Amino acid sequence: MKKQWMIFAVAAVSFSFGTIQVRAQGPRGAGAGGTDAPKDPEATHTGHSLNPVKWVKKDSKKTVDANSDRDKQLTSRLQARGLVPANADLADTCAGFKSMRDCLAAIHASHNAKVNFTCLKWDMTGVQPKADVSSCGTPGSGGMSLREGIQLLNPDANAKAEAKVAEKQAHQDLK
């Protein structure tokens, strides 16, 4: 009796794998061509391409230009408020940060909590800046949060509140 069930199970598994393979080939089998087959293999899909290259926008230059315009506007606004030096470029200033929001929050926090931006950037990014860092002391580990960087550089400041205010200001700048 056990042999009969085993034979039946093997036959069922073989049959199911055979139908899966045939179904994967399509109605005409592998390599079958015909006059009614679509010439574009993506034409059978409904609006979505399976080619990841087609997911990338072709007008990426337009996006870069839009970002540079935004950066120029942000730079001029931050310079007018005295947060960024007059000769500074925001793209160079924010190099090393994971996002523009993190950079803007660090700029605001350095101004609000009276800490050196270069030192704060070093603590947050882990990349030693080219500028003079003798006043920074021992840097923290790279990848610190804004709150941790403020706490390290100015232990008297309420780091949590300062970080929250700076992040809110950065959010407003990006609007």
**Does the pLDDT value for residue 93 go beyond 60?**
yes
**Does the pLDDT value for residue 164 go beyond 90?**
yes
Can you read off the two tokens belonging to residue 25? Answer: 């080939």
pLDDT of residue 24: 52
Average pLDDT of the chain is 75
pLDDT of residue 61: 45
pTM of the model: 0.59
Confidence of residue 147 (pLDDT cuts 50, 70, 90): very high
pLDDT of residue 86: 83
pLDDT of residue 167: 93
Residue pair 99/170 in contact (Cβ under 8 Å)? The answer is no
**Does the pLDDT value for residue 161 go beyond 90?**
yes
Confidence of residue 85 (pLDDT cuts 50, 70, 90): confident
Can you read off the two tokens belonging to residue 152? Answer: 């390290």
Mean pLDDT of 68-94: 83
**Does the pLDDT value for residue 55 go beyond 60?**
yes
**Tens-place pLDDT, residues 109-144:** 999 998 888 888 888 888 877 777 777 776 666 678
